[in-house]
Structure formats: C-alpha cells, structure tokens
Amino acid sequence: MDIEPYRRSIHDEVVTSALVSAAGTLLDDLIDRLLRSDERVATAAQGKLLIAADDGMEDAADRVQRFVAIATPTVRILARGARFTRVPWVLVASTAVSLTTTVRAGVREVRILGSLLAHQLEQATGAPADPALVKKLAVELYLAPKRTPDVSTLDLPLAQLARKWLLRGAFGRDTRRAAGKALDAAEQLDLDRVLETRRAFE
C-alpha cells in the first residue's frame, strides 16, 4: 500500500492550518494595535494616499515574517495542483522575497481599511469600535469590495485572506488597485444597516 499520498495530504493540511492560524494572529495583532491608537483614516482618498506611501510596517515585521515562513512551502503545494503545473520552479524558489513584499503591502492595506472603518463606526455610534466587527468588515471588503459584508456572524474568512496574499505574492501582483476599491466600498457602506443586522444576530 502506497502511503505517500496520505502522508502528503496530512502534511498539506497541517501546513494550510498553520497558514490560516498565522493569518489570524497577524490580523488580530494588526487591528487590536490599531484600535488602541489614535490612528484613524477619515476618507477613502486619504487611505489611498497612505497606501501609496510605504511606511515599512516595522511594527508588524515579526508577524509578517512568521506568515511568510509558513507560506513559502505552501507555494510548492499549490505548484503540485493542476492549475499550477506550469509554474516555473525558479518562481517557487524565489517566493519568499515576493511574498514578504506582498504580505507587507497587504497588511498595510488592511490596517488602513480597518482604520477607515473604525472611524466610521465611531462616528456612527459615538462609542469605541467593536474590534471583531472592524476585522470582519475589513477582511470581507478587502476580499470582495462589490459584495455586501455578511455580519450575521463575525467568523473571519482567514483561508481566503491567506490564499489571496499567497497567490498575489507568488505572481508578484500589485494589490493597490484592489485595495482602493475596498476603501471606496467602505466609504459607501450603509453602516446603519450593518449595525441593525449585527444587533439582530447578537
């Protein structure tokens, strides 16, 4: 009996779980640190200017490096899949540098998006923003700006977030345009409806 496929499946599952966990830790640290500060973004336009200015993200460097360390071998898992059979191995070998750049950019984008959402929630409620709600809105809008965030549950689509950073890092794609759309969607979000829906499910 060939146990290699089973061994490989278990290894892939462990790596993927670790990747999702690392993404969750990174997001928690990012938003919690943001909400403890006075840093707020008031408009989508301001957010886009901040995204264009690379601030280095030194405060999240350790978390980013941990995510990248776990993500790099995951690209090899993807490369074995049918959709990625033509991925050049030189690309896989050089993934760490590209992933670090993309994840740093992604973390900065989510932080700025979260800052805008926190500002809007605080303005709408007159109270400190709920960290769980900020995370939920930020991640959902970051992943799908055209879709109304589902706040019936505050569970986070961390696997999708990790996958987005992973794929864009592997192919070196610029994320700023997509982040700009997320900021526009956040600015236009019907927060009264969001808060009403949230109250209905609490």
Long-range contacts of 74-83 (CB under 8 A, 24+ apart): 74/15, 74/16, 74/19, 74/166, 75/99, 75/166, 75/170, 77/12, 77/15, 77/16, 78/166, 78/167, 78/170
Q: What is the pTM of this model?
A: 0.82
When mean pLDDT is compared over 8-17, 61-70, 185-194, the highest value belongs to 185-194
The pLDDT mean for the chain works out to: 82
| 3-class DSSP assignment, residue 189 | coil
Look at residue 3 and tell me whether its pLDDT is greater than 50.
no
Residue 9: per-residue pLDDT: 47
Look at residue 12 and tell me whether its pLDDT is greater than 90.
no
Q: Which pLDDT tens digit goes with each residue over 79-101?
A: 555 344 444 444 454 566 777 88
Residue 102: per-residue pLDDT: 83
Per the CB < 8 A criterion, the answer to whether 110 and 27 are in contact is: yes
Q: Which pLDDT tens digit goes with each residue over 37-69?
A: 998 999 999 999 998 886 655 667 788 888 888
